[in-house]
Amino acid sequence: MTDSTNRPPSVDTLARSLVDTGLPHPLLVDIAREAIAAGDPESAAARADAAKRSMLQRVINATGTLLHTNLGRAPVGVEQPFGYRNLELDLQTGQRGSRQSQAPMLLAKLCGAESAIVVNNCASAVMLILAALAGDKGVAVSRGELVEIGGGFRVPDVMEQSGARLIEVGTTNRTRRSDYERRIADPATDVAMVMQIHQSNYRITGFTEMPTTAELADLGVPLVSDIGSGLLDAACPWLTDGPPTWLAEEPAAKQTLEAGASLVAFSGDKLLGGPQAGVIAGDAELVGRCAAHPLARALRPGGLVLEALQDLALAYLRRDGQSIPFWRIATQPTESLRTRANALGVGSVVDTNAVPGGGTLPTVEIPSVGIALPGDHRAALRSAPTAIMARVEDDTTICDLRTVDPADDDALGEAIRALT
């Protein structure tokens, strides 16, 4: 006779015991089966918790990295009530419209461009430009700009996939206008376009030389500048106090176009402060060629992204930087951060440095204030009701307040107190 006390629970019974996790029953059934198969039914609750925490959810960024790639880069706050949208409908005529006629046109206005379109990220923008404007022709790029950025994005590989041919110009550390002129003049290279590529997450220093956008603007072929991070205007008219000093070396879309670039390409989720997207802006005829290319449909964003970008662009046009989460946290005065840190009443208040992150301004540090705790408490903080991401320096956990929304201060304080 079998001893029923040694029998594992049924899958259904164990799954129903986990109902308080809020996970749907089919997932709980899978978790219950895994726990029973492992001979450890008691682990089902922990497995359910792990499954729940593996899903996309809001986290508190206390790392001090403003554009944290693992956390979605720029913080965004979007509320979109239920309902349909006139995504591709002209409300005046009742006829079919274009999803590129709303947010993209506002972004074009912001950077002084004739026209703009939006795709799903900056790599897509580069791919589309190359395919639409170069095809099987040559594209001249300085050897000092043949970058690889996060996720294995390599400029030569993207160029190959687009059908364009890479024409390397100059050397790794020194490239001159005359280097481009020679390549363009050579019929064998068949150069259709010159491309400048932002070095993004690295710097070459020392014995270096690189022509400016203005110096390359009249070479007889379109000049495309991949400025990467998405700063719209170097003057930052949306900020009351003007541009912060740490932006001094960052190229901006408006000034790059004014200097003579035919097109600029940049990210939506970096210094623009929006959702993941790629923007192509500049000469209307060239933008139109990109929009008409078959790849444009494959790379187009959805209505959620476009509406978020529209709201963001309207905030820029109102010059309301404080309503844009990225700029609000990036420009907080350090004394305000110190006041918040002292009010928490936990750990030790320390001066620290935040960084832009996201492959933007790699050598820049932004003065900040944080809470220091001896030891490495990152795992425990990630287990808080709202997961908290911190960093460790010299066996000390730092919770940097520059990247923490003030509305999350209480949750951060409670999580730190729970460590003791």
**Is the confidence at residue 3, as pLDDT, over 60?**
no
**Residue 166 sits in the same domain as residue 27:** no
pLDDT class of 202 with cuts at 50, 70, 90: low
pLDDT, mean of residues 326-352: 97
- Which of 278, 309, 325 terminates a domain? The answer is 325
For residue range 222-262, what is the model confidence (pLDDT) as tens digits?
A: 999 999 788 999 999 999 999 999 998 899 999 999 999 99
What CATH number does the domain containing 351 carry? 3.90.1150.180
Residue 149 Cα to chain centre, angstroms: 13
- Which of 301, 325, 349 terminates a domain? The answer is 325
Residue at 94 is within a domain: no
What percentage of the chain exceeds 90 in pLDDT?
Answer: 81
Residue at 4 is within a domain: no
Residue at 49 is within a domain: yes
**Residue 213 sits in the same domain as residue 286:** yes
CB 355 within 8 A of CB 365: yes
Number of domains composing the chain = 3
pLDDT, mean of residues 288-314: 96
The rounded distance, in Å, linking the Cα atoms of 389 and 399 is: 8
Q: pTM value?
A: 0.92
The rounded distance, in Å, linking the Cα atoms of 269 and 261 is: 22
**Residue 226 sits in the same domain as residue 250:** yes
- Which of 268, 301, 325 terminates a domain? The answer is 325
**Residue 213 sits in the same domain as residue 305:** yes
**Is the confidence at residue 148, as pLDDT, over 80?**
no
The rounded distance, in Å, linking the Cα atoms of 300 and 264 is: 17
Residue at 202 is within a domain: yes
Q: Is 53 exposed, middle or buried (0-12, 13-18, 19+ CB in 10 A)?
A: exposed
For residue range 394-411, what is the model confidence (pLDDT) as tens digits?
A: 999 999 999 999 999 999
**Could you tell me if residue 295 is left (phi over 0), alpha (psi between -120 and 50 degrees) or otherwise beta?**
alpha
Which of 251, 312, 266, 262 lies closest to 288, judged by CA? 262
What CATH number does the domain containing 119 carry? 3.40.640.10
Residue at 83 is within a domain: no
Residue at 317 is within a domain: yes
**Residue 68 sits in the same domain as residue 35:** no
**Residue 374 sits in the same domain as residue 304:** no
For residue range 25-84, what is the model confidence (pLDDT) as tens digits?
A: 999 999 999 999 999 999 999 999 999 999 999 999 999 999 999 999 999 987 888 899
The rounded distance, in Å, linking the Cα atoms of 274 and 76 is: 6
**Residue 282 sits in the same domain as residue 358:** no
**Residue 219 sits in the same domain as residue 197:** yes
* pLDDT given for residue 390 in this prediction: 98
- Per the structure, the complete domain to which residue 71 belongs is given by 60-75+332-417
**Residue 270 sits in the same domain as residue 362:** no
**Residue 71 sits in the same domain as residue 49:** no
**Residue 25 sits in the same domain as residue 127:** no
* pLDDT given for residue 358 in this prediction: 81
Residue at 9 is within a domain: no
Higher per-residue pLDDT: 3 or 113: 113
The rounded distance, in Å, linking the Cα atoms of 144 and 142 is: 5
294 residue type, one letter: P
For residue range 97-108, what is the model confidence (pLDDT) as tens digits?
A: 999 999 999 999
The rounded distance, in Å, linking the Cα atoms of 108 and 86 is: 20
Residue at 113 is within a domain: yes
**Residue 341 sits in the same domain as residue 399:** yes
